[in-house]
Amino acid sequence: DGGITQSPKYLFRKEGQNVTLSCEQNLNHDAMYWYRQDPGQGLRLIYYSQIVNDFQKGDIAEGYSVSREKKESFPLTVTSAQKNPTAFYLCASSIWDSQETQYFGPGTRLLVL
Amino acid sequence: QKEVEQNSGPLSVPEGAIASLNCTYSDRVSQSFFWYRQYSGKSPELIMSIYSNGDKEDGRFTAQLNKASQYVSLLIRDSQPSDSATYLCADGSSNTGKLIFGQGTTLQVKP
């Protein structure tokens, strides 16, 4: 089955801790994206990557970091600098073109202990 | 700052009625628009994409685009309780590959 997987489904972070969210796709898409969704809100772009070894900041990149070492993988690290990390995190992928649809993974819900 | 605006709702319609969801966007040169459906606690799934002025129909769903008025809408005919969800409008921001999302409209279809 082709698709996007995210893990874990739920993640708990302690104060001062960095945590990493996994995103993997087997759709052979060039572009990958990370979004954050807060309750009752739309999606806000954190980071995106058009090709391997290259990525760009989105609208709310502060307190987050990413890497893109493989086409299939785009992990997101929520650092201790992100003071309000509780949210639903969504990974998406697409063919790189403004006309192309983005497909979403199932999401990771991050909670602070 | 490019923006997409949606009425957060909730929009409540009786089963079998037509639900009309609306969206306005700020970028005059935007070329592509997407409607996603999101059930509570789940990730968004694509319903429709539309690139040209006019209507595009797919089953019970019709997307409408008016570039002169910078307005996109989604009509759901014969609404069903299973259509109850949040509907997100997205602007395929021109020449960047990024999507700009509205805050979503919550639809409630009452049996």
* Dist CA B55 CA B62 (whole Å): 7
Pairs of residues, one from chain A and one from chain B, whose beta carbons lie less than 8 Å apart: 60
Choice among A12-26, A29-43, A95-109, B97-111 with the minimum mean pLDDT: A95-109
Counting residues of chain B whose pLDDT is more than 70, the rounded percentage is: 97
Mean pLDDT of chain B: 93
CB B104 within 8 A of CB B6: yes
Q: Are strands A54-57 and A4-7 parallel, antiparallel or unpaired?
A: unpaired
- Interchain CB contact of A58 with B (< 8 Å): yes
Q: Please report the pLDDT score of residue B96 as a whole number.
A: 67
Give, as one character, the DSSP assignment of residue B17.
S
Counting residues of chain A whose pLDDT is more than 90, the rounded percentage is: 79
Nearest C-alpha in B relative to A58: B98
| Short-list B25, B34, B33, CA closest to B4 | B25
Nearest C-alpha in B relative to A37: B103
Average pLDDT over residues A40-55: 92
Report whether pLDDT(A68) > 80.
yes
Copy the structure tokens of residue B92: 């395929």
* Dist CA B12 CA B1 (whole Å): 31
- Interchain CB contact of B102 with A (< 8 Å): yes
Q: Are strands B54-58 and B105-110 parallel, antiparallel or unpaired?
A: unpaired
- Interchain CB contact of B104 with A (< 8 Å): yes
Could you tell me the pLDDT band of residue A103, with boundaries at 50, 70 and 90? Answer: very high
Could you tell me the pLDDT band of residue A113, with boundaries at 50, 70 and 90? Answer: confident
Are A99 and B88 within 8 A, CB to CB? no
* Dist CA B10 CA A49 (whole Å): 35
Could you tell me the pLDDT band of residue B8, with boundaries at 50, 70 and 90? Answer: confident
Could you tell me the pLDDT band of residue A16, with boundaries at 50, 70 and 90? Answer: confident
pLDDT in tens, B38-92: 999 999 999 999 999 999 999 999 999 999 999 999 999 999 999 999 999 999 8
Average pLDDT over residues B10-24: 97
Give, as one character, the DSSP assignment of residue A102.
P
Q: Are strands B32-38 and B85-92 parallel, antiparallel or unpaired?
A: antiparallel
Q: Please report the pLDDT score of residue A99 as a whole number.
A: 67
